[in-house]
Structure 1
Protein backbone atom coordinates (compact mmCIF):
# COMPACT_ATOMS: atom_id res chain seq x y z
CA UNK A 1 0.00 0.00 0.00
CA UNK A 2 1.39 3.40 -0.91
CA UNK A 3 0.62 7.04 -0.32
CA UNK A 4 0.14 8.52 -3.78
CA UNK A 5 1.26 12.05 -4.49
CA UNK A 6 0.77 13.49 -7.98
CA UNK A 7 3.27 16.12 -9.14
CA UNK A 8 1.76 18.68 -11.52
CA UNK A 9 3.02 22.00 -12.84
CA UNK A 10 0.50 24.30 -11.15
CA UNK A 11 0.62 28.02 -10.33
CA UNK A 12 2.75 28.81 -7.27
CA UNK A 13 0.05 30.83 -5.46
CA UNK A 14 -2.66 28.19 -5.90
CA UNK A 15 -4.16 27.20 -2.53
CA UNK A 16 -6.58 24.52 -3.72
CA UNK A 17 -7.15 22.50 -6.87
CA UNK A 18 -10.75 23.75 -6.63
CA UNK A 19 -9.47 27.25 -7.47
CA UNK A 20 -8.38 26.18 -10.97
CA UNK A 21 -10.70 27.09 -13.83
CA UNK A 22 -12.62 24.10 -15.20
CA UNK A 23 -10.80 24.38 -18.54
CA UNK A 24 -7.29 24.63 -16.99
CA UNK A 25 -4.74 22.36 -18.63
CA UNK A 26 -1.34 22.37 -16.95
CA UNK A 27 1.67 22.56 -19.21
CA UNK A 28 3.85 19.46 -19.45
CA UNK A 29 6.48 18.90 -16.78
CA UNK A 30 9.09 18.72 -19.53
CA UNK A 31 10.77 16.39 -21.96
CA UNK A 32 11.63 12.96 -20.62
CA UNK A 33 15.36 13.80 -20.86
CA UNK A 34 14.87 17.05 -18.93
CA UNK A 35 12.79 15.28 -16.27
CA UNK A 36 15.47 12.61 -15.85
CA UNK A 37 18.21 15.25 -15.62
CA UNK A 38 16.24 17.22 -13.00
CA UNK A 39 15.59 14.08 -10.96
CA UNK A 40 19.25 13.01 -11.04
CA UNK A 41 20.30 16.49 -9.88
CA UNK A 42 17.68 16.65 -7.10
CA UNK A 43 18.06 13.10 -5.78
CA UNK A 44 21.36 11.64 -6.99
CA UNK A 45 20.57 8.13 -5.68
CA UNK A 46 17.56 7.67 -7.97
CA UNK A 47 17.45 4.54 -10.12
CA UNK A 48 16.14 5.35 -13.60
CA UNK A 49 17.09 2.02 -15.18
CA UNK A 50 13.48 1.86 -16.35
CA UNK A 51 12.98 5.32 -17.90
CA UNK A 52 9.23 5.21 -17.17
CA UNK A 53 9.52 4.08 -13.55
CA UNK A 54 12.09 5.52 -11.15
CA UNK A 55 12.98 4.13 -7.74
CA UNK A 56 14.42 6.04 -4.81
CA UNK A 57 15.27 4.36 -1.51
CA UNK A 58 15.84 6.19 1.75
CA UNK A 59 16.78 4.90 5.18
CA UNK A 60 13.20 4.08 6.23
CA UNK A 61 11.15 4.82 3.12
CA UNK A 62 10.92 4.21 -0.59
CA UNK A 63 9.45 6.19 -3.46
CA UNK A 64 8.51 4.75 -6.83
CA UNK A 65 8.16 7.45 -9.46
CA UNK A 66 5.63 6.83 -12.22
CA UNK A 67 7.08 8.94 -15.03
CA UNK A 68 5.27 7.20 -17.86
CA UNK A 69 6.06 6.53 -21.49
CA UNK A 70 4.95 9.89 -22.90
CA UNK A 71 7.36 12.56 -24.07
CA UNK A 72 6.82 15.26 -22.96
CA UNK A 73 6.03 14.09 -19.43
CA UNK A 74 2.64 15.41 -18.30
CA UNK A 75 2.91 14.54 -14.59
CA UNK A 76 4.82 12.33 -12.19
CA UNK A 77 3.12 10.06 -9.67
CA UNK A 78 4.98 9.31 -6.46
CA UNK A 79 4.13 6.04 -4.70
CA UNK A 80 5.51 6.58 -1.19
CA UNK A 81 6.06 3.79 1.31
CA UNK A 82 7.60 3.80 4.75
CA UNK A 83 7.06 5.48 8.03
CA UNK A 84 9.26 8.46 8.76
CA UNK A 85 8.74 12.15 8.14
CA UNK A 86 12.19 12.51 6.55
CA UNK A 87 10.57 11.49 3.25
CA UNK A 88 8.59 14.77 3.12
CA UNK A 89 11.53 17.08 2.32
CA UNK A 90 12.52 14.66 -0.45
CA UNK A 91 9.04 14.88 -1.96
CA UNK A 92 9.25 18.68 -1.97
CA UNK A 93 12.80 18.64 -3.36
CA UNK A 94 11.60 16.46 -6.26
CA UNK A 95 8.55 18.67 -6.82
CA UNK A 96 10.63 21.87 -6.88
CA UNK A 97 13.20 20.32 -9.23
CA UNK A 98 10.40 19.52 -11.67
CA UNK A 99 8.61 22.85 -11.26
CA UNK A 100 5.59 21.05 -9.83
CA UNK A 101 3.25 21.13 -6.87
CA UNK A 102 2.52 17.96 -4.88
CA UNK A 103 -1.13 16.87 -4.79
CA UNK A 104 -2.19 14.34 -2.14
CA UNK A 105 -4.41 11.86 -3.98
CA UNK A 106 -5.89 10.53 -0.73
CA UNK A 107 -7.16 13.89 0.55
CA UNK A 108 -7.52 15.86 -2.67
CA UNK A 109 -5.36 18.64 -1.23
CA UNK A 110 -2.18 20.31 -2.33
CA UNK A 111 0.60 19.52 0.12
CA UNK A 112 2.04 22.38 2.10
CA UNK A 113 5.79 22.32 2.66
CA UNK A 114 6.49 21.18 6.21
CA UNK A 115 2.91 20.04 6.89
CA UNK A 116 2.83 16.27 7.52
CA UNK A 117 -0.93 15.89 8.09
CA UNK A 118 -1.67 13.99 4.86
CA UNK A 119 1.30 11.66 5.34
CA UNK A 120 0.30 10.99 8.95
CA UNK A 121 -3.33 10.36 7.99
CA UNK A 122 -2.21 7.87 5.35
CA UNK A 123 0.02 6.05 7.87
CA UNK A 124 -2.85 5.81 10.35
CA UNK A 125 -5.12 4.41 7.64
CA UNK A 126 -2.44 2.01 6.39
CA UNK A 127 -1.60 0.75 9.84
CA UNK A 128 -5.26 0.10 10.60
CA UNK A 129 -5.82 -1.62 7.27
CA UNK A 130 -2.88 -4.00 7.52
CA UNK A 131 -2.96 -4.77 11.25
CA UNK A 132 -5.20 -7.75 11.98
CA UNK A 133 -7.85 -7.43 14.68
CA UNK A 134 -6.93 -9.24 17.92
Structure 2
Protein backbone atom coordinates (compact mmCIF):
# COMPACT_ATOMS: atom_id res chain seq x y z
CA UNK A 1 0.00 0.00 0.00
CA UNK A 2 1.44 3.36 -0.97
CA UNK A 3 0.83 7.00 -0.19
CA UNK A 4 0.52 8.55 -3.64
CA UNK A 5 1.58 12.11 -4.31
CA UNK A 6 1.88 14.21 -7.46
CA UNK A 7 4.59 16.67 -8.44
CA UNK A 8 4.01 19.60 -10.79
CA UNK A 9 5.91 22.73 -11.79
CA UNK A 10 4.45 26.21 -11.63
CA UNK A 11 5.71 29.77 -11.91
CA UNK A 12 4.24 30.56 -8.49
CA UNK A 13 2.87 28.44 -5.65
CA UNK A 14 -0.50 26.94 -6.61
CA UNK A 15 -3.55 28.06 -4.67
CA UNK A 16 -5.20 25.73 -2.14
CA UNK A 17 -6.97 22.84 -3.87
CA UNK A 18 -10.47 24.12 -3.08
CA UNK A 19 -9.57 27.50 -4.65
CA UNK A 20 -7.83 26.20 -7.80
CA UNK A 21 -9.26 27.59 -11.02
CA UNK A 22 -10.69 24.87 -13.24
CA UNK A 23 -8.40 25.93 -16.10
CA UNK A 24 -5.13 25.72 -14.08
CA UNK A 25 -2.37 23.94 -15.96
CA UNK A 26 1.09 23.06 -14.64
CA UNK A 27 4.27 24.06 -16.41
CA UNK A 28 6.32 21.32 -18.08
CA UNK A 29 8.80 19.56 -15.81
CA UNK A 30 11.01 18.66 -18.78
CA UNK A 31 11.80 15.59 -20.81
CA UNK A 32 11.81 12.20 -19.10
CA UNK A 33 15.63 12.13 -19.13
CA UNK A 34 15.81 15.67 -17.69
CA UNK A 35 13.40 14.78 -14.87
CA UNK A 36 15.29 11.55 -14.15
CA UNK A 37 18.55 13.52 -13.93
CA UNK A 38 16.98 16.08 -11.56
CA UNK A 39 15.57 13.38 -9.29
CA UNK A 40 18.89 11.50 -9.31
CA UNK A 41 20.76 14.72 -8.40
CA UNK A 42 18.70 14.97 -5.20
CA UNK A 43 18.39 11.23 -4.53
CA UNK A 44 21.67 9.62 -5.48
CA UNK A 45 21.20 5.90 -6.00
CA UNK A 46 17.79 6.11 -7.68
CA UNK A 47 17.50 3.15 -10.06
CA UNK A 48 15.73 3.74 -13.38
CA UNK A 49 13.98 1.22 -15.61
CA UNK A 50 12.68 1.49 -19.14
CA UNK A 51 9.29 3.15 -19.41
CA UNK A 52 9.97 5.92 -16.90
CA UNK A 53 9.86 4.02 -13.62
CA UNK A 54 12.40 4.75 -10.92
CA UNK A 55 12.98 3.48 -7.41
CA UNK A 56 14.77 4.95 -4.42
CA UNK A 57 15.18 2.99 -1.17
CA UNK A 58 17.07 4.40 1.78
CA UNK A 59 16.65 4.89 5.53
CA UNK A 60 13.39 2.92 5.70
CA UNK A 61 11.63 4.89 2.99
CA UNK A 62 10.87 3.76 -0.54
CA UNK A 63 9.93 6.15 -3.35
CA UNK A 64 8.70 4.76 -6.64
CA UNK A 65 8.64 7.35 -9.42
CA UNK A 66 6.21 7.08 -12.32
CA UNK A 67 7.41 9.24 -15.21
CA UNK A 68 5.04 7.79 -17.78
CA UNK A 69 3.25 9.99 -20.26
CA UNK A 70 4.00 12.18 -23.21
CA UNK A 71 6.94 14.53 -23.21
CA UNK A 72 7.55 17.07 -21.95
CA UNK A 73 6.22 15.70 -18.69
CA UNK A 74 3.65 17.91 -16.98
CA UNK A 75 3.71 15.93 -13.75
CA UNK A 76 5.00 12.83 -12.05
CA UNK A 77 3.54 10.49 -9.47
CA UNK A 78 5.49 9.25 -6.48
CA UNK A 79 4.34 6.12 -4.65
CA UNK A 80 5.69 6.36 -1.09
CA UNK A 81 6.13 3.26 1.07
CA UNK A 82 7.81 2.46 4.35
CA UNK A 83 8.40 5.07 6.99
CA UNK A 84 10.94 7.71 7.75
CA UNK A 85 11.40 11.39 7.20
CA UNK A 86 9.88 12.05 3.79
CA UNK A 87 9.50 15.82 3.85
CA UNK A 88 13.14 16.97 3.63
CA UNK A 89 13.35 15.06 0.34
CA UNK A 90 10.17 16.62 -1.03
CA UNK A 91 11.19 20.10 0.14
CA UNK A 92 14.53 19.70 -1.65
CA UNK A 93 12.74 19.10 -4.98
CA UNK A 94 10.48 22.07 -4.36
CA UNK A 95 13.29 24.45 -3.47
CA UNK A 96 15.72 23.33 -6.14
CA UNK A 97 13.43 22.99 -9.15
CA UNK A 98 10.28 25.03 -8.49
CA UNK A 99 8.25 21.84 -8.20
CA UNK A 100 5.12 21.68 -6.07
CA UNK A 101 3.96 18.56 -4.26
CA UNK A 102 0.29 17.63 -4.19
CA UNK A 103 -0.36 15.42 -1.19
CA UNK A 104 -3.62 13.49 -0.92
CA UNK A 105 -6.07 16.35 -0.60
CA UNK A 106 -3.85 19.47 -0.54
CA UNK A 107 -0.64 21.02 -1.82
CA UNK A 108 2.23 20.43 0.60
CA UNK A 109 2.87 24.18 1.01
CA UNK A 110 -0.76 24.69 2.13
CA UNK A 111 -1.10 21.60 4.32
CA UNK A 112 -1.23 22.56 8.00
CA UNK A 113 0.54 19.42 9.21
CA UNK A 114 1.87 17.34 6.29
CA UNK A 115 4.09 15.30 8.61
CA UNK A 116 1.05 14.36 10.71
CA UNK A 117 -0.85 13.34 7.56
CA UNK A 118 2.05 11.05 6.58
CA UNK A 119 2.09 9.54 10.08
CA UNK A 120 -1.71 9.07 9.98
CA UNK A 121 -1.36 7.21 6.68
CA UNK A 122 1.34 4.96 8.17
CA UNK A 123 -0.88 4.18 11.17
CA UNK A 124 -3.81 3.37 8.86
CA UNK A 125 -1.62 1.25 6.59
CA UNK A 126 -0.27 -0.69 9.55
CA UNK A 127 -3.79 -1.33 10.86
CA UNK A 128 -5.09 -2.73 7.60
CA UNK A 129 -2.01 -4.67 6.48
CA UNK A 130 -0.75 -6.29 9.69
CA UNK A 131 -2.53 -9.52 10.68
CA UNK A 132 -4.79 -9.06 13.71
CA UNK A 133 -2.74 -11.40 15.91
CA UNK A 134 0.42 -9.37 15.16
CA UNK A 135 -1.05 -5.89 15.69
CA UNK A 136 0.51 -3.97 18.57
CA UNK A 137 -1.74 -2.83 21.38
CA UNK A 138 -3.20 0.61 20.66
CA UNK A 139 -3.98 3.53 22.86
CA UNK A 140 -2.12 6.04 24.93
CA UNK A 141 -0.74 3.63 27.54
CA UNK A 142 0.32 1.06 24.94
CA UNK A 143 2.12 3.76 22.94
CA UNK A 144 3.84 5.10 26.04
CA UNK A 145 4.95 1.60 26.99
CA UNK A 146 6.42 1.04 23.50
CA UNK A 147 8.29 4.37 23.67
CA UNK A 148 9.74 3.60 27.09
CA UNK A 149 10.42 -0.11 26.69
CA UNK A 150 10.89 -0.51 22.94
CA UNK A 151 8.72 -1.80 20.11
CA UNK A 152 8.55 -5.40 21.40
CA UNK A 153 6.89 -4.31 24.64
Q: TM-score surpassing 0.5? A: yes
Q: How far does the alpha carbon of each residue in 1:36-94 deviate from its partner, in whole angstroms, 9 at most, with x for none?
A: 2211211121112335101111121110001114211121111011122x222112223
The 2-side partners of 1:35 and 1:17 are apart by: 25
Q: Does the aligned pair in 2 maintain the 1:35–1:98 contact within 8 Å? A: no
**Whole-angstrom distance in 2 between the partners of 1:11 and 1:132:** 46
1:111 matched to which residue of 2?
A: 108
**Greater RCO structure (CA 8 Å; 6+ sep):** 1
Structure 1 length as normaliser, TM-score? 0.83
2:24 paired with 1:24 = yes
1:100 match: 99
Matched, 1:70 2:70: yes
Matched, 1:82 2:79: no
**Which of the two has higher C-alpha Rg?**
2
**Structure showing the higher helix proportion among its residues:** 2
Cα RMSD of the aligned pairs, angstroms, is 2.2
Count, aligned residues: 131
- Alignment correspondent of 2:9: 9
SS of residue matched to 2:132: coil
Unaligned runs of 5+ in 1: none
Distance 1:121 1:15 in 2: 24
Moved more, 18-27 or 91-100: 91-100
Does the Cα contact within 8 Å between 2:13 and 2:100 map onto a contact in 1? no
Q: How far off is 1:129 after superposition?
A: 0.9
